[in-house]
Amino acid sequence: MTAEYTPDPIDETLLDAGGGPLLLDFGTNWCGWCRRAVALVDQAVAMHPGLRHLRIEDGPGRRLGRRFRVRQWPTLILLDDGRELARLVRPAHLNEIEQFLGGGGTAR
């Protein structure tokens, strides 16, 4: 996990290969919604020690965001063994993120 959204390309084969639960966190470092959500996401992830978490910078020309059809930031996508289980857009409360991570449902 990193506190900043990384502009570095992610090897997409790692996403498809599996390896258990993975939280993709799409946004940008300058986005107000994203900056408000960072601490909440960090708290929720800390309650799930086996969960890998990647903050990925999204925007024009970013293929990974297009692959997952990200339209608003932040968008959280929960994968398990490369398969999308759930998606949460613009989380505003810790309990919302915790329910998303624990329930595996879709919250839009």
Average pLDDT of span 55-76: 94
Q: What tens digit of pLDDT does each residue of 15-43 get?
A: 877 788 999 999 999 999 999 999 999 99
3-state secondary structure of 38: helix
For residue 23, list its beta bridge partners. 53, 78
Q: What are the structure tokens assigned to 56, written together?
A: 């990925």
Q: Which CATH number fits domain 12-103: 3.40.30.10, 3.30.420.340, 3.30.200.20, 3.30.360.10?
A: 3.40.30.10
Q: What is the pTM of this model?
A: 0.89
| Average confidence (pLDDT) over 49-62 | 92
- Residue 40: phi and psi, rounded to 5, are -65, -45
Q: Are 52 and 103 in contact (CB under 8 A)?
A: no
Does residue 74 have a cis peptide bond before it, meaning omega lies within 30 degrees of 0?
yes
